[in-house]
Amino acid sequence: MHSFLELSGLFEQRFNTSHFPAHTQTLYGPASYILELGGKRVRPVCVLMGNELFGEINPDAYEVATAIELFHNFSLIHDDIMDKAPLRRGMETVHKKFGESTALLAGDVMLVQSYDYLNKIKTDYLQKIIHIFNETARAVCEGQQLDMDFEQRSNVSLDEYLHMITLKTSVLLAASIQLGAVLGGAGLGNQQHLYEFGKNLGIAFQVQDDYLDAFGDPDKFGKLVGGDILANKKTFLMIHALEVATHKQAAELNELMSGINISNEDKIAGVLKIYTECGVADWARELKNKFLQTALQHLEDTAVLSVRKKPLIELAEYLIQRES
C-alpha cells in the first residue's frame, strides 16, 4: 500500500510529460499552462487509491487517472471564465493570460485528449469506465449551470445548494475512486460504498473551500479571498447567514450583495462582519465534520481489510484540514 503522497509522486512522474502536439502552440500552450500550475492531483490519485484497495495497481489506472486530471482542468478553465476569476493556484487564470476565446478552445481540446487516454485501456472494462466517466462529466456540467443559475436568484435553500455541489464538485471525486475500484475488480457493493465515501468527502471538501474563500489566508489559499462574495455566489456560508440573520442583518447582507455604490473591499469586509456576527465559521466546521463522518462510515462499511483503508482515511483528514 502507498500513501497519498507516494501515489501522488508516482502519478506526477507519468503525468509530467507533454499531452499535446508540438504544433499550434497558441492553442496547446495555454492548455499546458494550467497543467504546469500544479495542484494537488487529488482526483487522479484517488483513481490509484481506489484501485490499490483491491490489489496491485493496474497499469490502466494511470491512463484513467490522466483522463480524470485532464477533464478536471478542462472544467477549471471553463469555470474560471464563467466566474471571471483572475487567479488559479496563485497565478493568472488561462482566460486572463491568453484571452477567453483561446481559453475556451484550450479547455475543449483537453476534454478531447482525456478520451484519447481512456481509449488506451483494455476493452474488458472500457464500456463500464466510459459510462461512469460520461455520467460524471454530464453531472459536472449540470452542477456548473445550477451554480450560475443560483447567482441570479435571491434565495437558494441549503438542500438546493447541496445538490448543486454534489454535481459540480463531489461526483468527480466519487467517480475517481469508483473508477479505480472497477479497475481493481471491486464488486458493486464496494463500488457503491466507495462512491458514497467520495461524494460525502467531496461535500466536506467544498464546505472547507467555501470557508477558505471567506476566511482563508490569501498567501496560502492561492486564490482571491472573498471571490465568492464578489461573484454573489450562494455558498454554504451565505445560505446559512441568510437563514439565521436578523431582519436588519439580512437587509444589510442583501444591500451589500447588490454591490451598488460600494467598493469590492468594503463589500467583502461588510459581508464577513455579518458572517462573524451570525457564527457562520463555527457552523461551517460542524457541517464539514458531519459529512466527513458520513464519508468515513461508508469507507468503514467497504468490505476490505482495515489496513488497506488507511491511506484513504489519511487523505480525508488532509482534505478537510487544508488551508489551501
CA pair distance 183, 128, nearest whole angstrom? 10
Cell digits of residue 133: 466517466
Backbone angles phi, psi at 266, to 5 degrees: -70, -35
- At residue 149, the 3 state secondary structure works out as helix
Tell me the pTM.
0.91
Report the DSSP beta bridge partners of residue 88.
Answer: 91
CA pair distance 140, 145, nearest whole angstrom? 9
Domain tally, the chain? 1
CA dihedral 277, 281, 287, 290 (to 10 degrees): -130
CA pair distance 121, 63, nearest whole angstrom? 7
What pLDDT does 220 receive?
65
pLDDT per residue as tens, the chain (324 positions): 899 999 999 999 999 999 999 999 999 999 999 999 988 899 999 999 999 999 999 999 999 999 999 999 999 999 999 988 888 888 999 999 999 999 999 999 999 999 999 999 998 999 999 999 999 999 999 999 998 898 888 789 999 999 999 999 999 999 999 999 999 999 999 999 999 999 999 999 999 989 999 988 766 655 667 888 988 888 999 999 999 999 999 999 989 988 888 999 999 999 999 999 999 999 999 999 999 999 999 999 999 999 999 999 999 988 888 765
From start to end of 24-117, where are the E strands? 87-88, 91-92
Query: How many residues would you count in the chain?
Result: 324
What pLDDT does 75 receive?
96
- At residue 156, the 3 state secondary structure works out as coil
Report the DSSP beta bridge partners of residue 307.
Answer: none
Task: Identify which of 7, 57, 14, 40 has the alpha carbon closest to the alpha carbon of residue 208.
Answer: 40
The count of C-alpha atoms lying within 13 angstroms of the C-alpha of 251, restricted to the half-sphere facing its C-beta, is: 3
Angle CA 245–145–224, to nearest 5:
60
Q: Are 64 and 126 in contact (CB under 8 A)?
A: no
Q: What share of the chain is helix, strand, coil (3-state, %, to 5)?
A: 75, 0, 25
**The pairing of beta strand 87-88 with beta strand 91-92:** antiparallel
Cell digits of residue 184: 481493481
Q: Are 200 and 319 in contact (CB under 8 A)?
A: no
Q: How many CB atoms lie within 10 A of CB 157?
A: 11
Q: Are 95 and 77 in contact (CB under 8 A)?
A: yes
Residue 226's domain spans which residues?
4-321
Cell digits of residue 173: 471525486
- What is the domain-level CATH number for residue 8? 1.10.600.10
